[in-house]
Amino acid sequence: MFSILQRWYHLARTICVLASISKEYSSVVALDPIDRVILDLLQADGRMTHAALAEQVHLSPSACLRRVKRLERAGVIEGYRAALALERVGLGTTVFVEISLTSQQEGHLDEFEDAVMDVPEVISCHLMAGDADYLIQVVVADVTDYERVHRTRMARLPHVAKLKSSFALRGVVTRPGVALASEAPREIRDVDSGE
């Protein structure tokens, strides 16, 4: 147990040193093991009270709240949202759309990205390397609803040369967040500040 804690402390120190060296070149925020556990817990339950969170990470509620506020100010925590059961709200069909543009000119990319942000059925859009220029995730009620979205929105996006749609049969893995502290020891102490 002690060697695991030492490894986490060394890792946190290394991250802090590297972050301070490369601060000008990177927007990565240095996180110590306690920050990582806090983030994992909040990703799993964003409604967790500060008192319950503090108990889980073995900090006082005020020390824990300071850490959460720091993570919010640093932009690590972007917000708190409700996760919806899409089928229960009538959006049970997920479609992945590969889009190729007519050119790679920066202005065309910008125009396309501005336009796709205005399509409410699009829940994610990624600029890709490979055959397609963009991969878009769309949620709709059913195939008929997607036909409407395809005709009235997707096909009208600027500079689109090709659309290829693939319907998801079912989701296999959808995680509410990313694992940051999967190997963190159960009991963590902030060595520097005595928290």
- DSSP for 11-47? HHHHHHHHHHHTTTT--PPP--HHHHHHHHHHHH-TT
Q: What is the pLDDT of residues 136-165, one digit of tens each?
A: 999 999 999 999 999 999 999 999 999 999
pTM, to two decimals:
0.73
Hunting for tokens 């996180």 — which residue is that?
A: 31
pLDDT top residue among 94 and 27: 94
CATH architecture of 2-73: Orthogonal Bundle (1.10)
**Where are the domain boundaries for CATH 3.30.70.920 in the chain?**
86-167
N-to-C CA span, the chain? 19
Q: Other C-beta atoms within 10 Å of 72: how many?
A: 13
**CA 32 to centroid of chain Cα atoms:** 19
Share of residues in the chain with pLDDT > 70 (%): 79
Query: Which amino acid type is present at position 9?
Result: Y
Closest CA to 119 of 90, 155, 94: 155
Top CATH class of 86-167 equals alpha beta
- Which residue intervals of the chain bear CATH 1.10.10.10? 2-73
pLDDT in tens, 12-60: 554 544 444 444 445 899 999 999 999 999 999 999 999 999 999 999 9
Residue 126's contacts (CB-CB under 8 Å, 6 or more residues apart) are 134, 135, 136
Q: What was the pLDDT predicted at 195?
A: 44
